[in-house]
Amino acid sequence: MSIKLIAFDLDGTFLDDDKNCPKENLEAICAAAERGVIIVPSSGRMFDGIPEPIRNLPFVRYAITINGAGVFDREEDREIYRATIPFEDAERIYDYVETLPCSYDCYLENRGYIDRYFYDHLEDFIEDDVIRHMNWKLRGPVDNFRQYMQERHASPQKIQLMFKDLERKKYELEHFDERFPGCVATSSLPPNIEINAEAANKGAGLKALCEYLGIDLSETMALGDGGNDITMLQMAGLGVAMGNAEETVKAVADVVVGTNEEAGVAEAIRRYVL
């Protein structure tokens, strides 16, 4: 199998537990790029949320962002693919999540927005210091989130919930799709639920990018660890799960490598590409 494109998740996959970029992983994607392989970050984050050591690499032209809600061509400065949550569906979701013990926010037009109350009280909803600081960095507070979104008649790219009660998060994740047909709920971090339009998933994003580039899906490798990576691993010619991946992710993967703390991405690239 000749791999022409590598798509990799960030949190729990390429990044270590402290959200840093392991040197081995950076060296591996640089070596693959030197051989002409297209390197594609694929994340629940927006493009500006991709860590600078990856985002600033000269060969990183494309990115699958916000769980596939947007596929971005940086050189052309345009979206190749886009799928948002309709305004009316978003309003129904906000109505429901306001009854839950969680914070909520959204990505809209490639920016993160959160109500100022949640922004100022994230420690009440997120125990992990690293995840909490990442949310502070990637979300901009607004004084009245609901009013702001209603005035803009906003169709968000993603809605995110954060739970301190992980059992409640598990229950809501299991039942969310049946409550809101047309939307899909996944998780990429222990406390979160990420809600996207049904057409927005990493597998659809990978397919759209390959069609844009004229690459057959059989010539791709995808790497991930979370529920939001499953469609991408299924779509790719070679689906690779991290050693720390959820069991549902390992079950759909073709191979399992080391954990994100063991630079499993580098291991996979060395084994199957270099």
Q: How many domains does the chain have?
A: 2
Q: Which of 197, 219, 253 is the last residue of a domain?
A: 197
- The confidence band for 1, taking pLDDT boundaries of 50, 70 and 90, is low
| pLDDT tens per residue across span 5-45 | 999 999 999 999 999 999 999 999 999 999 999 999 999 99
| Residue ranges making up the domain that contains 237 | 5-82+200-272
Residue 5 corresponds to which tokens in the numbers above?
């494109």
When pLDDT is averaged across residues 240-259 and rounded to a whole number, the result is: 97
182 in the same domain as 92: yes
Residues 92 and 190 in one domain: yes
d(Cα 89, Cα 138) in Å, to the nearest integer? 24
**% of the chain at pLDDT higher than 70:** 100
- Domain termination residue (choose one: 197, 229, 248): 197
The answer to whether 52 and 20 have CB atoms below 8 angstroms apart is no
Tell me, yes or no, whether 57 and 135 share the same domain. Answer: no
Same domain for 133 and 59: no
Residue from 215, 222, 193 nearest 106 by CA: 193
pLDDT at 131: 92
Is the predicted pLDDT of residue 206 greater than 80, yes or no? yes
CB neighbour list of residue 86: distance below 8 Å, 6 or more residues apart? 155, 182, 197
- Of 170, 197, 224, the last residue of a domain is 197
Residues 93 and 71 reside in one and the same domain = no
User: Do residues 99 and 136 share a domain?
Assistant: yes
Residue 225 token pair: 């660890």
Q: Specify the higher pLDDT residue, 110 or 245.
A: 245
Average pLDDT over residues 115-130: 95
Percent of the chain at pLDDT above 90?
97
pTM: 0.88
What's the whole-number mean pLDDT along residues 163-185?
95
Considering the domain architecture, whether residues 190 and 116 belong to the same structural domain is answered as yes
- Distance (Å, whole) CA 52 – CA 68: 20
Q: How far apart are CA 127 and CA 13, in angstroms?
A: 21
CA dihedral 207, 53, 185, 242 (to 10 degrees): 80
54-86 tens-digit pLDDT: 999 999 999 999 999 999 999 999 999 999 999
Are both 132 and 189 inside the same structural domain? yes
Average pLDDT over residues 153-176: 96
* CATH number, position 221: 3.40.50.1000
Q: Is 3 exposed, middle or buried (0-12, 13-18, 19+ CB in 10 A)?
A: buried
Distances from the Cα of 226 to the Cαs of 13, 180, 210, 257, in angstroms? 9, 21, 22, 14
State whether 142 and 236 are in the same domain.
no
